[in-house]
Amino acid sequence: MNHGSSPNAEAVAAPAPPRSSANLKALLAVNVLLLILLATVTWGGSIATAQNDARPRGEYTMVAGPAQGTDSSVIYLVDAINQELTAVTYNTSTKRIDGVAYRNLRRDTNSVLRGRQAPGR
């Protein structure tokens, strides 16, 4: 029996092979690229942010009801924040939602307040 060191002890104690400078440079380049990407996402402006600044998030109310000239019901969507009204209906043959009408309520209100006749009359 050998009471000295085991054969595996020599393998564990062996020094690690030197890292190549090419691998180290590649790893450093990847880390710098990831850091730039993180900074861009964190502090950079995005298209979604620009769109959100231009148009505030809506507050919607939805009401279903009849409409003239159609047998199906119409869904009226009112955006109180942006003051818009949209009417849509469900087309059972194509299984799609079809737009019926759109009104800019802010423009209509301003028109009435200026003394003009209300649109659509």
Residue 44 lies in a domain: yes
Residue 73 lies in a domain: yes
Measure the CA–CA gap between 114 and 62, rounded to whole angstroms: 29
> Are 26 and 66 in the same domain?
no
> Are 35 and 48 in the same domain?
yes
Residue 119 lies in a domain: no
Last residue of a domain, one of 39, 54, 69: 54
> Are 98 and 71 in the same domain?
yes
Residue 4 lies in a domain: no
Q: Which of 27-31, 48-52, 74-78 has the highest mean pLDDT?
A: 74-78
pLDDT tens digits, one per residue of 92-111: 889 999 998 999 999 998 88
Measure the CA–CA gap between 100 and 89, rounded to whole angstroms: 7
Spell out where the chain has E strands.
Answer: 60-65, 74-79, 84-91, 96-104
Confidence of residue 76 (pLDDT cuts 50, 70, 90): very high
Residue 74 lies in a domain: yes
Residue 82 lies in a domain: yes
Domain total in the chain: 2
Q: State which residues form the domain around 75.
A: 57-113
> Are 44 and 89 in the same domain?
no
Residue 120 lies in a domain: no
> Are 68 and 100 in the same domain?
yes
Predicted structure pTM score: 0.48
